[in-house]
Amino acid sequence: MPVKVIFEDLGIIDYKKAWDYQEKLHQEIANVKSGKINKRKVNRIIFCEHPHVFTIGKSGKENNLLINDSILDSINATYYRINRGGDITYHGPGQIVGYPIFDLEQFKFGAKNYIFKLEESIIEVLKEYNIKAGRYKGATGVWIKPDVKGGLRKICAIGIRISKYITMHGFALNVNTDLKYFNYINPCGYTDKGVTSIQNEVGRKLSIQEVKKKILKHIINEFEIQLFYF
């Protein structure tokens, strides 16, 4: 039986506002599960874009941010240490960020399968643009030419938090992203691997709304969900 999920598109939103909203939704589901509030438990998936921002996970290394506060100000970017896994990444205009707030007990699988299904959804999206992508052993996310030495580059980062079997944070797919912002960091802590975007791979700018529809389609298929619109 499909799991019910509400979809909400927040458009372009400040990172901290989106993070606070995730925390609110996560807590609400946790309160329903524990019986603290009497309300129907509903999973949520949020899509958005952020103004220029660098975020670093709870185990990330500060020195993977390669610039100081004055340069951050000059490039109109902000910086947050947050409570997801993983190291440092960049979010900005032209990048689709997805935040599933899912109760994995409803889906009846754990963190490993959850990440696998997120990656698989993006891999299937990229196939629609004739981009061959896959996984890279020992790392999360979706990579281009994962089996070709010297050609490896990341196109989608994944960093999550799971508490009480409820997920938050999620994926960031580079669509029309300004890739120069990745030069200010060691993306995901790597110093020897590249970053790319769909635009960079296919040589043209894409419709963000078109890509969002494709992502939703494949998430619905992979996770076997019944989607409702907020």
Whose CA is closest to 170, among 208, 229, 119, 225?
Answer: 119
Amino acid at 181: Y
DSSP letter at 225? E
Amino acid at 228: F
Which is catalytic among the residues 188, 198, 211, 219?
188
Q: What are phi and psi of 211, to 5 degrees?
A: -65, -40
Per the prediction, the chain carries an average pLDDT of: 94
* Per-residue model confidence (pLDDT) at position 189: 80
> Alpha-carbon distance 83 to 88, whole Å?
12
Instruction: Say whether 102 sits in a helix, a strand or coil.
Output: coil
How many residues comprise the chain?
A: 230
Verify whether residue 188 is a known catalytic residue: yes
* Per-residue model confidence (pLDDT) at position 84: 94
Which segments of the chain have a pLDDT < 70?
Answer: 38-39, 41, 149-150
And the tokens for 206?
């894409």
* Per-residue model confidence (pLDDT) at position 38: 67
Q: Which domain holds residue 72?
A: 3-229
Give how many domains the chain has, as a whole number: 1
Placement of tokens 């969900």 in the chain: 225
* Per-residue model confidence (pLDDT) at position 147: 72
CATH number, position 92: 3.30.930.10
* Per-residue model confidence (pLDDT) at position 223: 97
For CA atoms 8, 30, 169, 1, the dihedral sign is: negative
* Per-residue model confidence (pLDDT) at position 150: 67
Contact yes or no for 21/47 (Cβ under 8 A): no
pTM higher than 0.85, yes or no? yes
* Per-residue model confidence (pLDDT) at position 220: 97
